[in-house]
A and B are shown apart, each in its own frame.
Chain A
Amino acid sequence: MNQQAAITSAAQRAIAALFPSDRISADLPDRIAYSRDLWPRTLIGLREGQHRPFEPDTVVWPVSLDELRALIEVSIEHRFALIPFGGGSGVCGGAVAQNGGVIVDLKRLDQITQLCDVNLLADVQAGIIGQTLEDQLNVRGLTLGHFPSSIRCSTLGGWLATRSAGQCSSRYGKIEDMVDSVGFIDGTARYRRVDRANNRQQLEAIIGSEGVFGFITDATMRLAHLPQTRMFLAYRVPSVERGCEALRRILQAGLRPAVLRLYDELDTLLSSPAGDRSPSALSRATHALTHGGAGKALQNRLLSTALRKAGNLSRIGANLADRLRRGCLMIVGVEGDRALAEAEAAYCHEQIICCEGDRLDDEIGISWFENRYGVSFKMSPLFMANAFVDTMEVAAPWHKLMRVYRDVHQALSADALVLAHFSHAYTDGCSIYFTFVSRGSDRTGAQALYDRLWQSALAAADTAGAAVSHHHGIGLAKAEFMKAEHGHGMTTLRALKTVFDPHGIMNPGKLGL
């Protein structure tokens, strides 16, 4: 059901009968507020007055599974789309009403219903905000260990729906590693409890399904004790290649430091000195230009010139990187029992030194930790400057990683300033997180350039053998790459869709379904 008709008045009345007036709204401000998530493509239009790119007909805030089930039954009867909505922090257009429908905001389902500190398991409702969950666990001396930069504006359900990853994934895993079972209402209004021990196949089908099969309503999550100690080390390694070699050695030796981050030369260059690690790409660029000796006026002129034509950014960045040759910054964070953490830090140090790393001030790592969530909230200046910024996270085996890095970089850099870091490492491979900054002449031009950059970058990643997403998911942004990613597996996904959502009411258009 990709082409929804507008919701009929009869359907509106049926929905209204399910919710009290303070938990349903068809008011314009709400429809505007819920007409997008944080997909940067929609932000480009926003600055030129395109305020509601994907306007829903109605927004509801259910508080119980019964309400959700009733809403699904009404949806089946009246044939309108339901779009699960958590924190709205997704960057791929996964939680938008592409052709109208009802946004179902799950944030009122926000309770920890059970917590066992023997098993280290917690039953949690899906709408809880990540930081709220973490704060409540911390009071009990526990942690989920999941720290995405969106933690203050994303929900547990959103994490599970998109296979999210946090900044300590090397130690705690991705969200799919932390889940013991999920509660799920499918598109027929049937509630299922799907556990890892008995129904792993079904669990693999639901995790990452981005709402196209139904609503993740709750989950039993695996917890850990709060670490006794946490320490950071910082290094400069001569190149991305040597840095990746160090990451690989550490992981393949069986170690699991909580944080392993490697910044490429340009990202390192644009990083501010310790203690002032300003996280937005624009402010980093600004800072770097200032550090080049330019005064404020000159800095503004340089920035203005750089942003005038997209390719200039890349050339300026490349020139600076080439001139300064500062190498690559690596940050290592270990935590847990003090003795074990110290041993882990010592082994990491040995491996990084073997890869020609030079130890830097630990303060750099501490500063990163203190500012680690900043980047998601400080991109507005770039958009206000008529530019745009987006991020792309791909993953590949170690033996393909450098080719992926070079090819994607090349695909983007003709028209954008490109930075990259490596921040989710495994024994068999790693994720690369590209940040690209560019601008178009106007909204139409910017969105066309934006689309072209994504197309060429994803095509390059796919050809080089990378998965097109490591933890942001697919949504609308990458939907057309699902065929390249899954091949004949799309047949299986379509079969799952018919089983879970035979009426086609759930989040149409996402995942290419």
Chain B
Amino acid sequence: MSPETDLSTEVAAIVGATHLSSLESDRAEFSGLDPALVVWPKDGAEIAAILRLANRRRIHIAVRGGGTGSPCWRRPSSPVLGLSTRRMINIVELDSTSGTVIVQAGIRWSKLCDALEQHGLWTGLPRDAFGEATIGGLLADPPANAHSPSFGPLSELCVSTTVACADGSLLRSRTAPRRAVGPDVGRMLLGDRANVAILTELVLRTRQRPALIVPALQLFPTLRDALTAARAILQIGVRPTMLRVANQAQAAREIGPQNFSIPAVVGLELAGPQKMIDRALDKIDEIAAQHSGQTLPADLAADWYERTCSEYALDGHSTRLSHREALAAIGRFTDAGRRVWLDQFDAHRVNLWTESDEPTVDAVAMRGSRDDHWLAAIKAALDPHQVLLGAQSIE
């Protein structure tokens, strides 16, 4: 019996013989790794059992969700088992009182949004934002556009987690709106890129889908005016569910050709009770006027909204900056030919996007860096046999 066959037998004993494969086509999904086997567990308990097996046999595990990301697995010398969450697609429980939903990590974003909509719920982020990505993948390695000015970053959706730790134990964090019980271990493992644990199940907070969702579009003479107005809108307490600022080149793409000049725009989505939206729109108009802005017609705003939501996916390179840094940075992008836009706003910071990976300034110098030393120490403590091959390995 070859070692691979022996491994197959042991893995089959955990997940069942029909839920693993050594076919080239399945192994190819783990590009560059060439795993000996690919396995499709049905839940966290099976993942934990596989991890215990991996520790015992000193093999590695690489995790794949929806396949929409670009993992940078380090290719190890010892065998690799590819683990896909494609069977873990269930909504386990939906509680309409708390507005929480328990989902398996392999459910795709679009399916989750569709299921929530049937119950009158939503996440506050566009359905098309992350398409076929899985919720587990999104929370393990959040994309740069995963943020709403009203709801915060994507991780704010997550109330609690169940993870399979590298040692093969299952860790379920308490479901409570907020806690003060030491470090938040569950949230600490979000963004981990499967380096010390695998997300298996998540409790997500949702919102009642508001009766009213209103887009609004404001025209500004300069990108600087637009950005300053956007900041003022947030800092006065208006909380749009989407906020974007675009320069002329990007605005042409988002709005389409018009018979008037559009140097810069601020686009917003507002959701909630009618009276709240009305007051917010009044306030936005007032602030726009203070910065030489003007409100564009509702049909243009609706068109912009539809186009932006359906083309929400990433198509540029972003840097997270403070508002002051962003104001300084956009000075370099007065050339109308180059697309520049800003989103993922809060009252303090914003993502600056450019269409290519050219330097978003001094922005690179402004931003901090990931503390790999700390992450490596944590991995050494929690995954001493280096069983998990993180989607972005820690050196």
Residues of A near any B CB (own CB < 8 A): 116, 118-121, 162-165, 174, 176, 180-181, 192-195, 197-202, 204-210, 222, 224-225, 248, 252-256, 336-337, 339-340, 342-344, 346-347, 395-400, 424, 426-431, 465-474, 478, 482, 485-489, 491-493, 495-496, 498-499, 511
A395 CB contact (under 8 Å) in B179, B231, B271, B371? B179
Interface mask (B146-183 → A, CB under 8 Å = 1, otherwise 0): 00001000010001000001010111111111111111
**B30 CB, nearest partner CB in chain A, Å:** 24
Cβ contacts under 8 Å, B279 to chain A? 339-340, 342-343
The interface residues of chain B lying within 8 Å CB-to-CB of A121 are: 322, 348
Whether A495 contacts B378 in the complex (CB less than 8 A), given A202-B371, A252-B99, comes out as yes
Separation in Å of the A259 CB from the closest CB of chain B?
15
Interface pair A340/B183, CB less than 8 Å apart: no
Q: How far is the CA of A375 from the CA of B278 in the complex (A)?
A: 40
Interface stretch of the complex, out of B16-24, B35-43, B185-193: B185-193
Contacting chain A: which of B4-12, B53-61, B233-241?
B233-241
**Per-position contact with A for B364-381: 1 when CB-CB < 8 Å, else 0?**
000111110011011001
Task: Report if A428-B205 is in contact (Cβ < 8 Å); known contacts: A254-B150, A343-B279, A344-B276.
Answer: yes
CB neighbors of A among B317-370 (8 A): 320, 322-324, 327, 347-349, 367-370
> Given A119-B349, A253-B208, A428-B177, are A486 and B375 also a contact pair (CB < 8 Å)?
no
Closest to A253 in B: B273
Q: How far is the CA of A174 from the CA of B98 in the complex (A)?
A: 19
Given known A-B contacts A492-B185, A495-B382, A472 and B347 have beta carbons under 8 A apart: no
**Assembly CA distance A456 to B237 (angstroms):** 43
Cα of A140 to Cα of B282 in the assembled complex, Å: 27
> Are A467 and B174 closer than 8 Å at their CB atoms?
yes
C-alpha spacing A197/B155, complex, angstroms: 12
How many Å from the CB of B388 to the closest CB on chain A? 14
Which residues of B lie under 8 Å from residue A336 when comparing CB positions? Answer: 236-237
- B76 at interface, CB cutoff 8 A: no
Contact of B256 with A by CB under 8 A: no
Instruction: Annotate B198-236 by CB proximity to A: 1 below 8 A, 0 otherwise.
Output: 000000010110100000000000000000000100011
The CA-CA distance from A193 to B370 in the complex, in Å, is: 11
User: Looking at the complex, which one of B171, B172, B176, B208 makes contact with A466 (CB distance below 8 Å)?
Assistant: B176
Does B97 sit within 8 A of A, measured CB to CB?
yes
12 additional A-B pairs beyond A198-B367, A340-B276, A470-B179, beta carbons within 8 Å, are A163-B180, A165-B180, A205-B183, A207-B183, A208-B184, A225-B235, A254-B210, A397-B159, A399-B97, A428-B99, A429-B98, A486-B185
A321 smallest CB distance to B (angstroms): 26
List 19 A-B residue pairs with CB atoms under 8 Å apart, sorted by A's residue number: A119-B322, A120-B235, A165-B178, A199-B368, A204-B183, A204-B184, A208-B183, A208-B184, A209-B182, A336-B237, A347-B273, A428-B100, A428-B159, A429-B177, A430-B177, A467-B176, A467-B181, A469-B180, A499-B374
Contact of B320 among A197, A199, A427, A482 (CB under 8 A): A197
Using a CB-CB cutoff of 8 Å, which residues 237-289 of chain B contact chain A?
Answer: 237-239, 271-273, 275-276, 278-280, 282-283
Most buried by B among A118, A193, A225, A498: A118
Bound together, the chains give a CA A471 to CA B178 distance in angstroms of 8
In the bound complex, do residue A337 and residue B165 qualify as a contact, i.e. CB atoms below 8 Å apart? Answer: no
Verify A197–B176 contact, CB threshold 8 A. no
Measured in the bound complex, the distance between the Cα atoms of B279 and A168 in whole Å is: 22
Please indicate the chain A residues that have their CB under 8 angstroms from the CB of B184 in the complex. 176, 204, 207-208
CA A466 – CA B178 in complex, angstroms? 10
Asked whether A194 and B371 contact (CB < 8 A) given A253-B272, A485-B174, the answer is yes
Point out the residues of chain B lying under 8 angstroms from A399, CB to CB: 95, 97-98
Q: Contacts of B177 on A, CB cut-off 8 Å?
A: 395-397, 426-431
Find chain A residues with CB under 8 A from B210 CB: 253-254
Do A482 and B181 contact each other (CB < 8 Å), given the known contacts A198-B370, A200-B191, A489-B171? yes
Closest to B186 in A: A489
The chain A residue sitting closest to B142, CB to CB, is: A200
Complex contacts, B205 vs chain A, CB 8 Å: 427-428
> A474 to B320, alpha carbons, bound, how many Å?
34
CA distance A210 to B348 in the complex (A): 27
Q: How far is the CB of A20 from chain B (nearest CB, A)?
A: 34
Q: Which of A192, A209, A340, A429 makes the CB contact (< 8 A) with B280?
A: A340
Set of chain B residues within 8 Å of A116, measured between Cβ atoms: 322, 324
Contact B180 A199 (CB under 8 A): no
Contact B275 A337 (CB under 8 A): no
| Nearest CB of chain A from residue B146's CB, rounded to whole Å | 12
CB neighbours of B235 from chain A (8 A): 120, 224-225
CB–CB B182/A210 < 8 A: yes
Nearest to B320 among chain A residues (CB) is A197
In the complex the two chains form, is A199's CB within 8 Å of B370's CB?
A: yes
Q: Are B381 and A467 in contact (CB under 8 A)?
A: no
> Are the C-beta atoms of B367 and A197 separated by less than 8 Å?
yes
**CB nearest to A116 among chain B residues:** B324
B95 touches A424 (CB 8 A): no
Contact in complex: A199, B371 (CB < 8 Å): yes
- Give Cα A217–Cα B190 distance, bound, in whole angstroms: 25
- Decide if B368 touches A197 in the complex (CB within 8 Å): yes
Instruction: Take A208-B183, A469-B179 as given contacts and tell me if A487 and B172 are in contact as well, using a CB distance cutoff of 8 Å.
Output: yes
Tell whether A347 pairs with B348 under 8 Å between CB atoms, given A162-B180, A209-B183.
Answer: no
